[in-house]
Chain A
Amino acid sequence: MSSPKTLYDKIVDEHRILSFDESSEAGERLLLYIDRTVLNEYTSPQAFSGLRAAGRTPWRPAASLGVVDHVNSTNPDPGAGALDDGARRQIEYLSENGRDFGIEIFDLFDPRQGIEHVVMPELGMVLPGMVIAAGDSHSTTYGAFGVVGFGIGTSDIEHLLATQTLVYRRLKTMRVAVDGRLAPGVTAKDLIMEVIRRIGADGAAGHAVEFAGTAIEALGVEARMTICNMAVECGARVALMAPDDKVIDYIAGCPRAPSAELLAQARTEWSSLRSDSGARFDKEIALDAGEVPPMVSWGTSPDQSLAITQSVPDPEDIPAARRADAVRALAYMGLAPNTPLQDIAIDRAFIGSCTNARLSDLRDAAEILKGRKVAPGVRAMISPGSSNVRRAAEAEGIDRIFIDAGFEWRRSGCSLCLAMNDDSLAPGERCASSTNRNFEGRQGIGGRTHLMSPAMVAAAAVTGKLVDVRSLAAAGAL
């Protein structure tokens, strides 16, 4: 009997073509087979140019899908959105590369267009046990399906396209055990923000992080994606969860799911996709989901966050090693120490991104917005995670709730999460945002981002300030 293995090591072993140095202390270096990738218009162009210059072609074109998401306008009127020359060239080049190399592309106006990490799972292209590497850091999202998913740069995209492999260094492993149950009004977003706050922006650096425990098992698949997605913000290179029946049911309902017969065959193998009992992790932490509050970020790094009921920290109370960063963050954010977080007024509200723009996120926000109006002076936008999510929400009438409340019902894309398009904050504008990064300038030069759950964004939008969503919800509504 071999020694107990982690889920991460099982998947890596299954994809190991050859080992370069099995016993290395830094972690085995190996040639790793990659099942699938998704390409976007802004990190892939130089990879294709590299292939062209070297006279190479993709190893297995059907293993790749291209999607336009980062630079496109999400203006509701498809003809009105601003597209600069660079963006237009990137979109055209993605299509050209698809044509020349036989790779499927979802172009700007394709009915399946959307944010890459929303599109891949909803199509049924993310299957347990896979390794998916892609040119975007939030590729950790796929971990919700029991997939080793990770972000890579453009040179590695080129390597992957040419060889269907990556030269890979095996990671250390970490388990985050979350038992108990999330309280009403508290979401997967709050849970992962609390993990990031506790361990820091580099707390999982160099590790593949497996999330386990009863609180994780109780979550729906979309909520699990939120956690795995944002795990990269504490340095996790890979986030993982053991796939269960919820995952398999989710896949079975997707347009490109394997046939029922093949799914039945796969199910047997997928049931072994869990860490063996007694498997050793290099690092372990545990937390009680019941103690997680609704969270909001106050600074310019995702670990600079607190419970909404607390106040902006006083740098005097912050450990010396982090004090200068806190002072700088507060200056950038225009916040005074000890201000109650719920006294902070906002200018903008945004629901979107690969973290929190799936149908369940929209439903959560709509629940708060029903019968309410966006506060005067606040501009509120929602960009559904994919064109498919947008249509599904419209079929449920959710679009009306957003529009009646005063939200702009926009088309799908990365939008204001990173402002590589015509959605951005003006200098000094303060935004309640369901996205993943509060970095300086992330949403526009001088823009100020407060990260939170979609329901918390909705609550902030209607009150005009950061607010505890639990104070708005009618009894029993959460």
Chain B
Amino acid sequence: MERFLRVTGPVAAMPGANIDTDVIMPKAYLKGIDRSGLSIGLFHDLRFDEAGTARGDFILNRPDMAGTRFLLVGPNFGCGSSREHAVWGMLQYGIRGIIGSSYGAIFADNAANNGLLLLSLPVEEVAALAAVLEDGAGQMAIDLEAQRIEVNGHAADFDIDPAVRRALMLGLDRIGETMTHAESIRAFEKAYLARKPWLIAGQE
């Protein structure tokens, strides 16, 4: 995954609450067996009408929003379905970071696993950032090392889960890391299954 150190670019506001992963990546884009081709699916039914024409009133379709890197979102963003396609689509579209007050839990894990930065800020701080946007848009810079966010000249520090920060900054191979504990897993499993024979009776 691409490492996240310092990223700058346009930010677009999508302030609604409970924007779910069905809306972020509609079902028509879930029929693949690989991770590709999802940029077009991102917010598809908000971006395009039934004839496939771009909806001019949707923020990401505005000319000034070309190359959007960040979304400023409402509470509980990414709730609902576990589909990781929502995160893959964000990254393929070019979104690198999302700033909001809370997220669907599975979406947040998926983001961390793919290098998409999610910032969870107090509701008032999200409102303060929204207030310095002009017509829902602005120029943003996020420095993950310094844990600092700037938008339209307004700057603030932020907190982030240190484990997530480290993984984003290093672009870790998560399975490889866990496999360094393979001996511990094996030893745990042996003792655990011996203690609870009903768990595997007749199955292996």
Is A164 in contact with B189, judged by CB distance below 8 angstroms? Answer: yes
Is B178 in contact with A205, judged by CB distance below 8 angstroms? Answer: no
Which residue in B15, B75, B80, B110 is a CB contact (below 8 Å) of A439?
A: B80
How many whole Å from B14's CB to the nearest CB in chain A?
Answer: 12
Is B22 in contact with A439, judged by CB distance below 8 angstroms? Answer: yes
Q: Give the chain A neighbours of B76 by CB distance below 8 A.
A: 201-202, 205, 235
How many whole Å from B195's CB to the nearest CB in chain A?
Answer: 9
Is B33 in contact with A45, judged by CB distance below 8 angstroms? Answer: yes
CB of A360 within 8 A of chain B?
no
Q: How far is the CA of A342 from the CA of B16 in the complex (A)?
A: 28
From B5-13, B90-98, B99-107, B135-143, give the one contacting chain A.
B99-107
Q: How far is the CA of A194 from the CA of B162 in the complex (A)?
A: 37
Is B33 in contact with A137, judged by CB distance below 8 angstroms? Answer: no
Is A54 in contact with B175, judged by CB distance below 8 angstroms? Answer: yes
From B63-71, B145-153, B179-187, give the one contacting chain A.
B179-187
CB of A269 within 8 A of chain B?
yes
Interface mask (A126-157 → B, CB under 8 Å = 1, otherwise 0): 01011000011100000000000001111110
> Which residues of chain A from 76 to 112 have a CB within 8 Å of any chain B CB?
84-87, 89-90, 93
Is A43 in contact with B84, judged by CB distance below 8 angstroms? Answer: yes
How many A residues touch B, CB cutoff 8 Å? 80
Q: Give the chain A neighbours of B84 by CB distance below 8 A.
A: 43, 46, 153-155
Which residue in A45, A269, A418 is a CB contact (below 8 Å) of B27?
A: A418
CB of B39 within 8 A of chain A?
no
Q: Chain B residue with minimal CB distance to A46?
A: B35
Is B202 in contact with A26, judged by CB distance below 8 angstroms? Answer: no
> Which residues of chain A from 31 to 73 have a CB within 8 Å of any chain B CB?
31, 33, 35, 42-43, 45-46, 49, 54, 56, 59-60, 62, 71
CB of A442 within 8 A of chain B?
yes
Q: How far is the CA of A322 from the CA of B74 in the complex (A)?
A: 11
Q: Chain A residue with minimal CB distance to B167?
A: A167
How many whole Å from B189's CB to the nearest CB in chain A?
Answer: 7
Q: A42-B31, A153-B84 are in contact. Are A20 and B163 (CB under 8 A)?
A: yes
Q: Give the chain A neighbours of B192 by CB distance below 8 A.
A: 14-15, 33
How many B residues touch A, CB cutoff 8 Å? 58
Q: Give the chain A neighbours of B199 by CB distance below 8 A.
A: 35, 127, 130
Is A165 in contact with B185, judged by CB distance below 8 angstroms? Answer: yes
Interface residues of A (CB under 8 A from B): 14-15, 17-18, 20-21, 26, 29, 31, 33, 35, 42-43, 45-46, 49, 54, 56, 59-60, 62, 71, 84-87, 89-90, 93, 127, 129-130, 135-137, 151-156, 158-159, 162-165, 167, 169, 201-202, 205-206, 235, 237, 256, 258-259, 262-263, 265-266, 269, 301, 303, 322, 324-325, 328, 418-420, 427, 437, 439-442, 445-446
Q: A86-B32, A163-B185, A205-B105 are in contact. List 18 more A-B contacts (CB 8 A).
A: A29-B163, A90-B33, A129-B196, A137-B80, A152-B82, A153-B106, A156-B109, A158-B175, A162-B175, A164-B189, A167-B178, A202-B76, A202-B79, A262-B198, A266-B198, A328-B16, A427-B50, A445-B26
A-B contact pairs, 28 of them (CB 8 A): A14-B192, A18-B181, A33-B185, A33-B189, A43-B83, A46-B84, A49-B34, A56-B175, A127-B199, A136-B81, A137-B80, A153-B106, A153-B107, A159-B174, A159-B178, A201-B79, A202-B102, A235-B76, A237-B105, A258-B198, A263-B198, A418-B22, A419-B27, A420-B31, A437-B22, A437-B80, A439-B20, A445-B50
Q: Report the 6 A-B pairs with minimum CB-CB distance, sorted nearest first.
A: A86-B31, A153-B110, A153-B84, A45-B33, A62-B204, A155-B113
